[in-house]
Amino acid sequence: MSHDMEHHSEGGGILANRTLWMGVGLGIFLLIGFLLPTPQSVVDIIEKYGFAKKMIAWEIAHDAQQAARKTMMVLGVIPMAVIFFATEAIPIGLTGILMPMLAYFLHLLPRKMIGKTFAGDAPMFLLGVLAMGVAVVDVGLHKRLASWLLGWTKGFLVPVFVLCLSMSVIGSFISAHAMCAFMTPVMAAVYFGAVKASSPVGRLEHDPALAKFLLFTLCFALNVGGVGSPAAGGRNVIMMGFWSEYNVPMDFFTWMKYGLPMVPVLGIAVAVYMLAIFGRKIKTRDLTPGLAAIKDETRRMGKMSYSEYVTLAMLLLILALWILGGEELGLGGPSLLALLIPVIFKTTDWRKILNGISWDAWFMYCGALTLGALLKESGAALWLAQSFLKILSSFGMEQGLGLWVGLSGLSGLMTNFMSDAGTTALLGPIVIPMGIMTGVPGEPWAVGLGVAFATSFAHFLIVGTPNNAIVYGLGVYPDSGEKMIHPMDFVKYGFFLWLISMIIVWVIGFMVIYKVIGFPEGLIDTARAVMEKGLM
């Protein structure tokens, strides 16, 4: 009962007025999309870079002016979507569905392209990962994972720092999304054991601050690990591909020299920040009972069962296919095995998987993919990027450290609104030539690394990364099934951590690591020669 009271009180005030926020979101959308005049800069960009021609070919616009109006509609969708996602003015899954609905009814994309955002590799990947989390919990494997990783720790601070350091480093080399799916139920189990031990006999007193602390600490630690190596995500591989186009390729180990030293610093920063934010709010100050309860339960489970072996083998198989399958298999194909294998081998019931998947989180993420496609294909993202670059120029940030800070800041902002891979794919072809033209030694690696690093910090919007969606979807109270966190929590607790993460990259990455490690001689000359040859 005490939990219910706290839960509702947290959602009170102006943020709980859903009708108000629905009106604000719709009002901004109508103002930008239909009432404000189209800036000439929007028309110029969609004509210069071929967006108007593409829309005309798709038969969603008749001329450049109408194409520019479509771009304005997309620019209006962005703030409305952010408001709806953050405040839950309408259910979060329904907000996700709203994105393709607007694309269909306003004819913002070809119909086939809209459908792909709900049926492509990324949606199938998230669906499989959510099913994976259900299967792991159903057979109890998450308890063994907790025992292996955290069972030796005691107290409060040691488990927290071990969690942050281990997850950030692991997230640099294997799928952070998979680890998120494995570990979210673990955090829920640790939480439940800790609060149960500290509650009066016969009554369970929840500690919502502890629940949020554990889930966000896990999520953010996995997020920041993305800077460590190319294996951390497709965005890093995409940037490596852009460098190869300019004949300045970077190998795996070289990336690690620039990125991996920042990972433990970022992991510790997550721990310190979360302790500073939640320290006084948390009532349950000892996680030992929760960890001990899991260890005791694991011992009572005895040797690993048939179901656990099958589930563990499934996890290892999927992970191997992610690493070795390459572009041919993608991420979605292997992930869908998490729906098939538990049913075929009779370890988890099909209906239990369907009921356990957070469809709210899945629809929300698919809607975010539609929004990302709208931003990219309409020219809206490019217009926003070009506008930001003009602002940088006005502040004298056209080269060197100023350029790296400005462009990584833009990348970090954009990755909270669209996928990290989409952000890198959009900005890479823009920022690398910009860096080359400055003549500053170390380009294009310096600016490319800065942009790629920043895409790991999708902390403050729930749609920014699958990690956020997975924690939201799987993070439920074990006794009631209620959500432990809410979309607005990402804004409340993630924005300042985003700033801290960016500052760490700017100071340690740009001002220390770049100078200590340096860049190969002739890097910018080689890249400039390729660029000039392409312009001839």
Over the Cα atoms of the chain, what is R_g? 24
Whether the Cβ atoms of residue 104 and residue 114 lie closer than 8 Å to each other: yes
| Non-local CB neighbours of 53 within 8 Å, separated by 6+ positions | none
Give the orientation angle of helix 487-504 with respect to helix 64-87, to 10 degrees: 110
Coil, strand or helix at 183: helix
Q: What is the pLDDT of residue 536?
A: 41
* 529 Cβ contact partners less than 8 Å away, ≥ 6 residues apart: 247
Give the integer Cα–Cα distance in Å for 373 and 21. 25
pLDDT of amino acid 16: 67
Show Cβ contacts of residue 491 under 8 Å, excluding neighbours closer than 6 positions.
86, 460, 461
pLDDT value at residue 191:
92
Residue located via tokens 């308890």: 143
Return the pLDDT at 28. 96
Token pair for 127: 């669906």
Long-range contacts (CB closer than 8 Å, 24 or more residues apart) made by 235-238: 235/420, 235/421, 235/423, 235/424, 235/452, 235/455, 236/424, 236/452, 238/421, 238/424, 238/425, 238/428
Give the relative orientation of helices 176-198 and 208-224 as an angle to the nearest 10 degrees: 160
pLDDT on residue 11 = 46
Q: Report the alpha-carbon distance of residue 196 to residue 278 in Å, rounded.
A: 20
Which pLDDT score is estimated for 239?
85
**Per-residue pLDDT tens digits of the chain, which is 536 residues long:** 344 434 443 445 666 688 899 999 999 999 999 999 999 999 998 998 889 999 999 999 999 999 999 999 999 998 898 788 778 788 888 988 999 999 999 999 998 888 877 877 778 877 887 888 788 878 888 778 777 778 788 899 999 999 999 999 988 877 787 788 878 988 888 898 899 888 888 788 899 999 999 999 999 999 999 999 887 766 787 788 888 888 888 888 899 999 999 999 999 999 999 999 998 899 998 999 888 877 887 888 888 899 999 999 998 898 788 767 766 777 788 889 999 999 999 999 999 999 888 888 788 778 877 887 888 788 887 788 778 778 877 887 877 888 899 999 989 998 887 777 777 877 777 788 777 877 788 888 999 999 999 999 999 888 788 889 889 988 988 778 888 998 889 999 999 999 999 999 999 999 999 999 999 988 888 888 886 775 44
